[in-house]
Structure 1
Amino acid sequence: MRRILQVWLVAFGVVCVGIAVAHLLFGTSTIIGGGSVNATIDSDMRFYAILFLAYGLALLWCARDVETKGLPINLLGLIFFAGGLARALAWIVSGEPNWFYVLMTPVELVIPVLNCLLVRAVCRPAEIARV
């Protein structure tokens, strides 16, 4: 289970870093189903891309020593879950998004739960108590 969690965190972290770099360098043209936006929205998106980059790097950092990183992994999962809830809120407020984001919403709500289960299977008892 340890190796599965490590491989998963590395894969997830690399994907997050890749998405963040694409958003940072290429702006809103990387948004599936998106259209043209004004400079303010473009600026916000590139700003948040840096935060997503940090998120991906944090996942990679956690992968190095998963047995002692249960709490940070679960906190990152909680953040990702909140992102899924925010996406659902946008759907309610603004209407149905592109099909890709319709599919991503449940994924973003399930991944943190799976992460938490893996962490509980891998972390040291002292770490589990902190989680």
Structure 2
Amino acid sequence: MARIKALRGLVLAMGYACVAIGLYHVLLGNASIPGAGAAGTTIDSLGRFFGAIFAGYGIGWLWVSRQSPVPATVVRWLAGVFLLGAFGRLLSLAVHGWPHWFQVALTAVELALPPLFIWLADAEEKASRAEG
């Protein structure tokens, strides 16, 4: 039961966080990126576009949170996409060096959460099978 509550809580929190972060980037553009300074109109446009995509990604997590049982396969795919984002940050670090400290902290979160989601992903499906 604790794994189910953890799964549901984390999936819901992930959804709301991604929607909020995505909309924050859509609304503020370059100003939403710590250390970005005046990156110019092209980067502002790109950031706002990716902010909208990230908000949509968050809506995917919120959709998952409303399913019963929470679909493990979808949770794993969404977690994999998040992990792919962390790998992108690591590639940037390797090519360009250390970013703003906040980006480093985000990378740590992006590396830590996917394994947790993957471990919790089937908690509710397993419980449903055991009851049925």
TM-score norm. by structure 2 comes to: 0.88
C-alpha contact 1:5 1:66 (8 A) present in aligned 2: no
Q: Once the two structures are aligned, what percentage of the paired residues are identical?
A: 34
Residue 126 (structure 1) shift: 9.8
Residue 10 (structure 1) shift: 1.0
CA RMSD of aligned residues (A): 1.8
Residue 108 (structure 1) shift: 0.5
State the Cα deviation string for residues 66-90 of structure 1 (Å, max 9, x = none): 5251111110000000000000111
Q: Give the length in aligned residue pairs.
A: 127
Give the alignment partner of residue 8 of structure 2, picking from 6, 9, 12. 6
Correspondence for 2:75: 73
Q: Gapped runs of 5+ residues in structure 2?
A: none
Give the alignment partner of residue 38 of structure 2, picking from 36, 39, 44. 36
C-alpha contact 2:71 2:122 (8 A) present in aligned 1: no
Q: Distance in 1 between matches of 2:9 and 2:127?
A: 22
TM-score norm. by structure 1 comes to: 0.89
State the Cα deviation string for residues 55-111 of structure 1 (Å, max 9, x = none): 100001101125251111110000000000000111111110011111221221120
C-alpha contact 2:70 2:124 (8 A) present in aligned 1: no
Correspondence for 2:25: 23
Which segments of structure 1 move beyond 4 Å, counting only runs of 4 or more? none
